[in-house]
Structure 1
Amino acid sequence: MTLSASTTRAVDLRVEPVEEILGHVEGSLQTRLERDTVVRKRRSVGARTGRDTWVRIERRGLDRIGVQGWNGTECAARLEGIAQPEWQGSVVWRDRDEPVMWRADETELLPGTPIGTAVLSDDPKLSDEWWQAFNTSMDRLAAQDTRRIATPDTVTITQALVTESIRSVFSDDFDTTVELWVPAHADLNWANMTAPTFRLFDWEDWGNAPQGLDSASLWSSSLAVPALADRVRLERRCDFESRDGKLMTLFVCSKILGPDAHPQDPRLEPARRLAEQIVAELQTG
């Protein structure tokens, strides 16, 4: 049963006071969080511990926690053959004053730094070995078995969501039915992978999704660097050439081209060009 919740206050943890939260985690996990390593994002905070591990803390409204719970990083620990940091443990608690939950997951340290922000503006110049490791993990992830449903942007992905998102921007004269659902990371972007050694982290939203969601998401995060976007399409061409992969490309394009589009977004024109091509292909079957 989904936890009931009143309206959750919008919070940006980049500016919200978090010292009390850090102290709570330290007491629960029995370790020190090194304050000079704290990384603050909109809905999560991370820090290195005194025992050389990493702790990621996330705040999530009860209305965003579905029937499958909120333990993606923990559940991802059972995935086989995927380059990810080893999960160590967690602590979860409900906020005393607001309809939100907090969760802290402890993992081993990453072998390198995150490649960049979610959307890149410069080519990271990744090696062929990196791309090989990336492809291996993506292929093995898609071959796993799970009952989890992916929650990109903390929203459960469904056929209805796919159709609604695509129809909000594009024509309605082609079928949007998804044929193949496979396990996906569901938050695949350049801020959640490391280099030069490949690791994929932040697994809280993973689960079954239409084939090609991850590939399309990474492509959309690369559009400001045309050569990188082309490389993503080349490396994951098996996804992009599939019908579901084309639908997922339109799905991510709908977020770029929708009513909240920023006129200065460098991704607008390349997203529009490919979307028009895909719509034409889907219309002709």
Structure 2
Amino acid sequence: MTLSVPSARAVDLRVEPVDDVLDRVERSLQVHLDQGTVVRKRRSVGARTDRDTWVRVERRCLDKIGVQGWNGNECAARLKGIAQPAWQACVVWRDADELVMWRADETELLPGTPIGTAVLSEDPKLPDGWWQALSSSMDALAAQDTRRVATPDTVTITQALVTESIRSAFSGNFDTAVERWVPTHADLNWANMTAPTYCLFDWEDWGNAPRGLDSASLWGSSLAVPALADRVREERRHDFESRDGKLMTLFVCSKILGPDAHPEDPQLEPARRMAEQVVAELQTG
């Protein structure tokens, strides 16, 4: 028998008061957070500490915490061959008033600056060495083993979710069954990587997912800059040319082209064109 957990209210930590939360983090980790460095996102808040580390605090509803737990950043510390900030410590607690949990992870500082927002509107003009480091880390990640299952956007990815997402947006006589599942970051976008030194951070949702999810996600967040989207496809060509990579391209396109899409979104037209091409390839392949 599966017990459902009631949903808590949705909040945006960019505007939600978090002073009490940050005070608790400071006491628990015995650090002082530099208020001048605070970065607030929709579901996380981060800041530099007085011991030259970084603390990321996330709020998550209980119904978004599955049986594998909620320790992605901690579990990612054992991964090898991947450019990521070293994990050091954490504190986790259940909110006294709401059906949510809070988690603060302390890591070493990033070696560079986050490249931008999740979706870019300008080409960051990254050097060839950066792209080589990206592919090296992604290939190393896919070669590892884990029992974790990826939770992109805090939703556990399953074959049923892949099929439902693709079928909701695209018609055609092709199979949506995934052939290969591999360890995946599951939130690969331009806000979670640094430059000029490459580093990939925010590992809370990583786990097994269909091959090509990360590559397709990064391509999707690049569509407003056509040359950048083309570079992603070129660098990760072996993912995009695989059958699973084509399915993941449709999976990402289904989110971009969904019912809530803004008609002036620059991602819409290139996503629509690519989806038509991929559907045709899957039907004839």
**In the alignment, which residue of structure 2 is the partner of 1:259?**
259
Alignment of 1:17-56 (within 5 A): 17-56=17-56
Pick closer, same or farther for the CA change 1:71–1:188 going to 2, 3 Å. same
Residues paired across the two proteins, number: 285
Q: Using the TM superposition, give the Cα deviation of residue 172 of structure 1 relative to its aligned residue in structure 2, in angstroms.
A: 4.5
Distance (Å, rounded) in 2 between the aligned partners of 1:98 and 1:13: 15
Q: Label 1:55 to 1:3 Cα distance change in 2 as closer, same or farther (>3 A).
A: farther
1:120 paired with 2:128, answer no
Contact conserved, 1:12 with 1:42, CA < 8 A, in 2?
A: yes
Structure 2 CA distance for partners of 1:2 and 1:152, relative to 1, 3 Å: farther
* Contact 2:87 2:105 survives alignment (8 Å): yes
Cα deviations across residues 76-98 of structure 1 (Å, max 9, x unaligned)?
Answer: 00000100000001000000000
Moved over 3 A (4+): 1-4
In the other structure, the counterpart of 1:197 is: 197
Q: Distance in 2 between matches of 1:236 and 1:150?
A: 20
User: Is the Cα–Cα contact under 8 Å of residues 212 and 245 in structure 1 kept in the other structure?
Assistant: yes
Aligned to 2:250: 250
Aligned to 1:136: 136
The 8 Å contact of residues 172 and 279 in structure 2, kept in 1 or not, is answered as: no
Q: Distance in 2 between matches of 1:82 and 1:146?
A: 15
Distance 1:143 1:54 in 2: 28
Residues 2, 67 of structure 1: 8 Å contact kept? no
1:100 maps to 100
CA contact (8 A) 1:111 1:194 kept: yes
Q: Structure 1 CA distance, aligned partners of 2:158 and 2:179?
A: 12
1:7, CA displacement in angstroms? 2.1
Q: How far off is 1:3 after superposition?
A: 7.8
C-alpha separation in 2, matches of 1:2 and 1:74? 27
Match of 2:162 in 1: 162
Which residue does 2:12 correspond to in 1?
12
Show CA shifts across 1:234-281 (max 9, x none): 000000000000000000000011111110100000000010000011
SS in structure 2 of the partner of residue 270 of structure 1 = helix
Give the Cα separation in 2 of the matches to 1:275 and 1:6.
Answer: 36
Query: Deviation of residue 6 (structure 1)?
Result: 1.7
In structure 1, distance between residues paired with 2:226 and 2:101: 39
Deviation for aligned residue 1:8: 1.0
Which residue of structure 2 lines up, in the alignment, with residue 66 of structure 1? 66
Change (3 A) 1:45 1:33: same
3-state DSSP of counterpart to 1:54 = strand
C-alpha distance in structure 2 between counterparts of 1:160 and 1:250, whole Å: 14
The CA distance in 2 between the partners of 1:196 and 1:17, in whole Å, is: 33
Q: Which amino acid aligns with 2:235?
A: E
* Contact 2:7-2:62 within 8 A present in 1 as well: no
Alpha-carbon spacing, 1:143–1:247, altered in 2? closer, same or farther (3 Å)? same
Distance in 2 separating the partners of 1:206 and 1:2 = 24
Match of 1:241 in 2: 241
Displacement of 1:284 after TM fit?
A: 1.3
Please state if 1:88 is matched with 2:108. no
TM-score, normalised via structure 2 length: 0.99
2:171 counterpart residue number = 171
> AA paired with 1:240?
F
Partner residue in 1 for 2:232: 232
The 3-state SS of whatever aligns with 1:234 is helix
